[in-house]
Amino acid sequence: MSPPLPPRKRTGAACVHSETCAVQETAAKLLSFCIPQYAAILLILILVELAVVIGIFAFTDQVSSFVKKSMLSSLEEDYKGINGTDAVTVGWNFLMIVFKCCGVENSEDFSSASKWPRKYTQPGPPINGSVTLTSPPITVTLETPIACCKTKGEFPDVTLLEPNDITCALSPNERNSNMDKVMCASK
């Protein structure tokens, strides 16, 4: 008598079919696990966004007060005038020129701006119409920043109403300055 034959191994199509079934079963288990988690995370994000919007509307006064305090703090501690190149100063100049405003509430906000140089040196006028000969530079004390002056043109191509005339910052009034027009905080 001959020894028994070993069991036959699956080959070909039967093996591919069982592997395909295993992959499909694994994918189905993975999807049945991931879809509910994805839906739960999405629902949580939507609820958080909704809560933030409701919070902003419910606490408008508090949010407004916080924003104004932050703006005033940056102006008082970091604003460096028309020639400043740091981000806070450039941002303030942009805000005041584009939105035609001056300070958080008004130009009085600059009275406590510690880094704003009130002294401004401008070139002296030409002597007898000469292009090369000029009078000595003149140092003046500004009442408001030059960025509070009324301008013409669209940013960044803006000029003062009268080019190189900083009277608007020396003696600001309703005609030449945005000093009391609208507070920047409302923009």
Same domain, 163 and 145: yes
* Residue 53 burial (CB count, 10 A): 10
Same domain, 85 and 30: no
Bigger pLDDT: 167 vs 12? 167
Domain span at 117: 61-186
In a domain, 5, yes or no: no
pLDDT value, residue 134: 77
Same domain, 36 and 121: no
Residue 37 has pLDDT above 80, yes or no: yes
Structural domain count, the chain:
2
Longest dimension (CA), the chain: 133
Q: What is the mean pLDDT of the chain?
A: 83
What is the pLDDT confidence band of residue 127, given thresholds at 50, 70 and 90? Answer: confident
Residue 164 has pLDDT above 50, yes or no: yes
In a domain, 47, yes or no: yes
β-partners of residue 141 are 119
SS (H, E, C) the chain: CCCCCCCCCCCCHHHHHHHHHHHHHHHHHHHHHHHHHHHHHHHHHHHHHHHHHHHHHHCHHHHHHHHHHHHHHHHHHHCCCCCCCCHHHHHHHHHHHHCCCCCCCCHHHHHHCCCCCCEEEECCCECCCCCCCECCCEEEECCCCHHHECEECCCCCCEECCCCCCHHHHCCCCCCECCCCCCHHHC
Same domain, 36 and 86: no
Summarize the confidence of residues 134-157 as an average pLDDT: 87
Same domain, 87 and 168: yes
In a domain, 4, yes or no: no
Share of residues in the chain with pLDDT > 90 (%) = 36
Same domain, 46 and 92: no
d(CA 71, CA 99): 15
In a domain, 39, yes or no: yes
pLDDT digit string, tens, across residues 79-122: 999 889 999 999 999 999 999 999 998 889 999 999 999 998 88
pLDDT value, residue 3: 64
117 cis-preceded (ω within 30 degrees of 0): no
Summarize the confidence of residues 54-61 as an average pLDDT: 86
Bigger pLDDT: 53 vs 184? 53
In a domain, 3, yes or no: no
Same domain, 53 and 90: no
Same domain, 33 and 44: yes
Same domain, 28 and 75: no
Q: Supply φ then ψ for residue 47, to 5 degrees.
A: -65, -40
